[in-house]
Structure 1
């Protein structure tokens, strides 16, 4: 279909069966895609077809079903690699971003960092890109440093670059903030880090589902992403890493599939990426994720990005008209994520009453406690939009929000 053609967004929306349901007797308005994306019929069908017609374990059997399962699983790896412009043999398939970041932490950072080293993070990171580095710092004696933000929620880039001192051995940064929606210039950030000999880890959870991502052009050392936000099944995702890193890193988990030979006096490990894929994977999930990649590629990620930008502009304009409502994050480059609070109203109360109107938004701290502390709020509501949402839903959301505010006044 592509970005240049005319796209029937209503027809695309019809591909998502869950969006046809009602909640509390009202049509569902699903504005929580930053939490998890909805699944098109083709993804659901692909998982169902695998279990009905091809179910077997991968890389373990020479029978027909085993061959079919292995080809389907490895086919999904190839699709993901092409989607992200990387080599398939540099792409580790795993349960998602959290696992991927922990893999880097324990297999790359733990054997290398020492007490004189520093790990540089940013204020906007998700807990999954904070806690593993804290654990590694505790075990190695390394220190954590934090790069701060500008008032609009963008990174203070001069301060970030100034913080890239010789002690910093690793920089971990979000491609897109899950709270602010800020899109970070990760290619330039990685270029600056590379010039200083700093290894870079990019959390792509909120980027890969919403915009074209070319990992080769970014120039990072590691890139992590999750499948369930990418219209794929839960328990899927991946870690891309430079081949030399994967070859040098020890395995994170031990077991079947990640070995070539096991003896009681030692083990010969498999080649990357399989060295990091111990045990039976979520085969059907990755078959579904491969179907999701096909589906999104058919639409075109540039078209998806443009559609979501239009929805973001519409929703932001209407929200700014509401008295007492504050939006967090106004960076020039922003994804379709709107975190907001209303004076005198707790976000949980707001989200609960919006749910009764059929509107699903997330409330809380969004796994970003340090960021919310910096914002000076305990919790926010977050409306996160996707290409399958509509401008009519934006209007209905605003009407429901105004109704709820009147009830809480």
Structure 2
């Protein structure tokens, strides 16, 4: 079967649906189709590592980006359980796994990423999980209800949120991280110690500087072996060791793809083909705000980029220009990060506020003292919005980190 649509949006995350909304706000008539290989309409990822893990009975549709009525009300055709397998740029068509062909005028690639797995003995044993989908989150929560001991592989912000939920459920949690501390890509040694201490106080255990070399068990995972010689009893395991960008469609179609950073786009999020755009995790974009070409794997980036690209696809000509914003919620704490997440690679760091109480901002600066990134943590989420706005202003202004004061940030 062959169909024709003005706007074809590929992807089941927030990027496709927010792009659709931005398009419809500007183009009331153009036909539009969203294609996702999942059984659900597009949904947000942040709840999956938070309340879906920590709480029982969270409705499946709680993570949905829009109410079901959004699609018919806005004249959007939604095709679920439909995997795109090929793009013919010459004919401007996308072929689906079932053989259907969709003809487009304008195409958005918002395909996201998929979890990396460990190619080690025992990695296929039941009881070992990754987290990317609603079904993944529900499976982890179901396993947690019948488990006492959990081993988490990786201490990035995703698994630290999972650890928080499992600790809330009362599980014995051990986290194995090959780096020297949590949030290795984002955190200074000072912040890493703060995080480790906060989790240790809640009962978590850490093995830093070690990797997992095998999973063992008869019919189900029962233990985890590490390079340090530890053998950790485990009723369940969650692996979060990064993600692989879903760039195969773009690469096979002959679009320019950076092997590390994703589908190459310009400041208008347009690919090397003028009828194709990319947004969200897979977009390797020229970040005007911080002067860097890269990709960002985070919810707000996907939302902001998709709203921008939807407007662009509908005819506006305004470059994407947002200071990166990452957030996390864990234990009884909340975090926002604004700027270039240089983390442990920053030349200079400086803490403002009260680190011991968990009410502080850490500033990260380059060799010349210019602020690259600010990371704020608080028990009170409402305090973070004004701090975030101020950090954005300072990053854009290329402010000197040494001149930033507690009073100016409201810490």
The normalised TM-score by structure 2 is 0.30
Comparing both structures, which one devotes a greater share of its residues to helix?
1
The normalised TM-score by structure 1 is 0.30
Comparing both structures, which one devotes a greater share of its residues to strand?
2
Point out which structure has higher relative CO (alpha carbons under 8 A, 6+ apart).
1
